[in-house]
Each structure stands twice: as C-alpha cells, then as structure tokens.
Amino acid sequence: MSALPQPLPKGRHAAPREIVWESQRGRMLEAMAVAVAQKGYAATAVADVIARARVSRKTFYEHFANKEACFLAAYDEGVAALLATIDEAVGAAGDPLQAVTEGVRAYLEALAANPAFARTFLVEILAAGPAALERRAAVHARFAEQIEASHRAARAELPGLPTVPPARFRAGVGATHELVVEHVSRHGAETLPELLETLLDVQLALLGVRPAA
C-alpha cells in the first residue's frame, strides 16, 4: 500500500464521482492500516480513520458498515497486492529454484516497503475477530498452494526431488509466518529482507534441496 494520497480537488475541477469514490475508499483503507499499526486494532476507532483519511463520517459509512468491514477490506486489498507482487517475481524467474528465492525476496521486500501494512495485518489481525482470522487462514492456504505449485514445477525439471506430504506445505507457511511476525514485533518490518536466507532454508528444505554453497 502506498503513502496516503492527497485529497482530490473540489469545485469546477472536481473529479468524476466514481474517481472520488475510489480515492476516498483508498484513503480510508490506507488510514485504517496506519491507525491500527500505531494504536492497535482494539484502540482504533472510526474517528481515527476518518481523521487520517480526511473524509466525513457520512462518507465512511457510505463505504463500510463499521470498523471491522473497513479493516477486512484493507486486508483483502493489501494481500491481493502482496500476492500479485510475489506471483510476478516467481513468473519472471529463470527456473523453479530461482523462483523460490525470488518469491521469498519479493514477499519480504514488499512488507518492508509497507511497514504499516506489515504490522497491521501480520500482528494486529489476531485481535480483529473471527472474520479476520478466517481471512488469515484463507491467505495461509493460498500461500501453501503457491509453495506446492513451486514444488511441482521443480520436480518436473528435477525428477530426483522427493515427493512432499501436503501438510508440509502448510507447515512451511506456518513456520515462515512465525519467523516474520517475530521479526516484525522485535525489529520492525523495515529490516525484513534480513530474513531472506533463513526463510529460503525453510522453503528449500520443503523441496528436498539445499541452497547452493
């Protein structure tokens, strides 16, 4: 997620309603991520979001039913952007093992570049209620599918690689998530690229190979 955009002009230079709508929505999603990163989900109120987004309370409720709905929308949009970034990096890799490296690198660099998103949706999501936890579980399943696809591609080119029990892919996601959350909590998201070698060790172990010396 990028920095907060500036308000659109009003009056005779006003943008069409649909553009204003998307700008307002984008500002509110960004404001939600920043507010929750700073204050925590429980302490964040709709008033914090509208103040940061520079919109009215009426505008907020035209877009979202409540704080939770705004939080979940911000989560969905941020995760979609993160997954697209990873998929692009994986698709540009020259071979399946390089794809693992580039996918992990893209994941860490995207989170490092968006520290409010990283803290809000890796740490604070645990306090956001059952619907948020369901979203989190679905995202973890999506990451597991991505790792499994990388494994299939690697075995197609390297038949000597062992088969992997399906549960190991989900376990790999869990291990990666715990390492990333711990790092964010202790050191902040900005230094997440420091975890590259550690996470590669986890991911390549799933494929039955070790990083080149």
Q: What is the pLDDT of residues 147-200, one digit of tens each?
A: 888 788 878 887 778 888 888 889 889 999 999 999 999 999 999 999 999 999
Question: What DSSP string describes 133-170?
Answer: HHHHHHHHHHHHHHHHHHHHHHHHH-TTSPP--HHHHH
CB 44 within 8 A of CB 35: yes
> What would the CATH number be for the domain defined by 68-207?
1.10.357.10
CB 106 within 8 A of CB 86: yes
CB 195 within 8 A of CB 108: yes
**91 or 65, which is more confident:** 65
Report the C-alpha gap between 101 and 89 in whole angstroms: 9
CATH topology of domain 11-67: Arc Repressor Mutant, subunit A (1.10.10)
Report the C-alpha gap between 135 and 116 in whole angstroms: 18
- Residues 33-69 pLDDT 10s: 999 999 999 999 999 999 999 999 999 999 999 999 9
- pTM comes to 0.82
Q: Where are the domains of the chain?
A: 11-67, 68-207
Phi-psi region of 40 (alpha: psi -120 to 50; beta: other; left: phi over 0): left
